[in-house]
Amino acid sequence: MVITVSEDCGKVMSMEESVKKFVKDGDVIWLGGVNQHQAIAAMHEIARQKIRNLTLVGLITDAAVLLAAKCIRKVLCSFIGPIRYKRYDDSLIKLCADDGVFVEIEEYSNFALAMRLLAGSLGIPFITTKTLWGTDCLKVNPNIKFVECPFTGEKLVALPSLNPDVAIIHVQRSDPFGNAQKWGIIGADDIAAKAAKKVIVSCEEVVDSDVIRRDSNRTLIQGFRVNAVVEEPWGAHPWFVYGYYDVDFPFLVKYLMPPKEGGYLEAINKFMEEWVYGVANRREYIDKYIKIYGKEKLEALKIKQTVSSGEVIYGYPEGNL
């Protein structure tokens, strides 16, 4: 969609500009999705800009390129694919350490980490839960404490609130003001956006506000909470976006898993040179993909057999006024 500056309060910008403006060294950062809707275009841009000392809220996050670019100092981890290794010598953790970046891991479960964001979103200092009992997270994570319920005396796990400095969330569509709509499995994007101090919306399409208003329950983030809106088609590739495209599994494996032959670090460094540092932005990345694999390969990922809902109906009690 073509947007003029007067219409959008200046929020619509490129990924490069949004990251430059709103992601700073040392930030605590949420990079949306839980398998689905991973904000991969944003990760590539952060890697290119070499932003340092980030603390990643890693609730099922593919942060391989950020680790390979040595942007991350600490992870709040429930599940982060690329911290895995069979041999330390061939791991991203070691690659970072060699450069003086000692990645600290703070251990959580999915629900526990989500609860920290919930507390952050509610504007309260801590929250209690019944999860984590019996797990060794209690032994190795000093940020998990215990509290007695003042009403029943029940012993509960207490977790501090978490307010990321910035959340980057990839959705299907947003209007130019940042009223962002997402459907499918939401993961923790709802509470991460609410908890974050700044929000960058990355979306497949910028649409007219009228599209948003016609199905307003679908709005995940209120526009007035959003600092930047980036139209980034294929922004989650090689991961997936509901109703738009599916996983590009062979491509994902190229940088996420050790190759059958040769070392993982060699493979991911090659990937970084080719697909992250070797392109200026997402447009170039997609052009490169088409050049190497063909347009058909990209088209094949698109959702072809669509399933759509019945209409959501709103209206007025009277006829025309």
Q: Does 126 bind other proteins (CB under 8 A)?
A: no
Q: Which helix (H) or strand (E) holds 174?
A: strand 166-174
Among 46, 56, 71, 93, binds other proteins (CB under 8 A): 93
Q: Under rule CB under 8 A, which residues in 191-250 are in contact with other proteins?
A: 191, 239-240, 242-243, 246-247, 249
What is the rounded distance in angstroms from the CA atom of residue 141 to the CA atom of residue 17?
A: 36
Residue (105 or 286) nearer to other proteins, CB: 105
Shorter beta-carbon distance to other proteins: residue 18 or 38:
38
d(CA 233, CA 236): 8
Distance CA 132, CA 61 (A): 20
Task: Pick the binder of other proteins from 6, 86, 150, 151 (CB under 8 A).
Answer: 86
Nearest to 141 by CA among 117, 157, 121: 157
* 196, 30 Cβ separation under 8 angstroms: yes
Contact between 89 and other proteins by CB under 8 A: the answer reads: no
Nearer to other proteins, 135 or 143 (CB): 135
Strands 198-206 and 228-231: parallel
CA dist 84 and 267 (Å) reads 15
CA gap 172, 183 in Å, rounded: 8
Minimum CB distance to other proteins, residue 69 (Å):
19
Alpha carbons 54 and 66: distance in angstroms, whole number? 9
**Least Å from the CB of residue 176 to other proteins:** 26
Q: Which residue in the set 12, 137, 162, 221 belongs to the binding site for other proteins (CB under 8 A)?
A: 137
Site of interaction with other proteins (CB under 8 A): 34-36, 58-60, 77-86, 88, 91, 93, 107, 109-112, 114-115, 118, 129-137, 140, 155, 157, 183-188, 190-191, 239-240, 242-243, 246-247, 249, 252-253, 256-257, 303, 307
